[in-house]
Each structure stands twice: as structure tokens, then as C-alpha cells.
Amino acid sequence: MSAPQSIETVTTGADKAKLAAAAVLLLGALVAFYALSKQGPLLQWAALLVLLAASVAAFFTAEQGRSLIAYGRESARELRKVVWPSRKEALQMTGYVFAFVVVMGLFLWLTDKTLEWVLYDLVLGWKR
């Protein structure tokens, strides 16, 4: 297994400007939504959706947005490689887990009762 490679990202001024524009557009969407409340819900929601779409578009044109898209594509590709268990295997594993929980619960209950008996009845003499 190879060691993970160090990735150095260089953020250019243009990328910083795109991120700043996305933030300003997002803030503008919220301000426009509340400022246009007296103009009617149609204009209010239209302004919100248009400015939100512009904010998302500005974000995805920056390097960070492109990296996010690439990460999503790589995740989907890796997900397709996963070998999922069959229904029978899944039910068997679920049964094993339930059986283990029951056995562990009984073990802990017996341990608790044994320690209770040893401490209260034998050591302290608090017979009930």
C-alpha cells in the first residue's frame, strides 16, 4: 500500500473572487427574500431562487466547486465497486448480532447479580 500523496492546492485570486461572489450572492438572496416581502410571494421566491442559482453556479466554477464535483464522481465510482451481501447473508449476520446481544446481556446480568450477592450478602452482610 502506498503512502498517501500530499496534495497542495493553490488558490488563485480568481478562485477567491468566485467564492466571495458566491457568498455575496447567497447573502443577497437572503436579503432580497426579506426585502421583497411586500412585493408578493412570487417575486420574493423568484429573487431567492435566481440568486441562489447564481451563487451555486459561482461556487461550482471555482476550484473548490470543481473539486467537490470530482469527489462526488469518485465516491459514486467507488460505491459501484462495493460487493453488497445477499439477502440470506444479511439475515444471517443480523441473527448473529441479535444472538450476541442476548448472550452478552445474560452475561452482564449474571455478572451484576453475582457481584451484588458477593458484595451485599457476603462482604457487607446486608441480607435482604
Same domain assignment for residues 69 and 10: yes
Provide the H-helix boundaries in the chain. Answer: 13-35, 41-61, 63-81, 87-116
Tens of pLDDT along 59-117? 999 999 999 999 999 999 999 999 999 999 999 999 999 999 999 999 999 999 999 99
Does any domain span residue 1?
no
Same domain assignment for residues 68 and 94: no
pLDDT at 8: 58
Containing structural domain, residue 125: 85-128
Same domain assignment for residues 32 and 11: yes
Same domain assignment for residues 57 and 14: yes
**In the chain, how many domains are there?**
2
Same domain assignment for residues 45 and 17: yes
Write the CA distances from 81 to 62, 65, 69, 75, 76, integer angstroms. Answer: 29, 25, 19, 10, 9
pLDDT at 60: 94
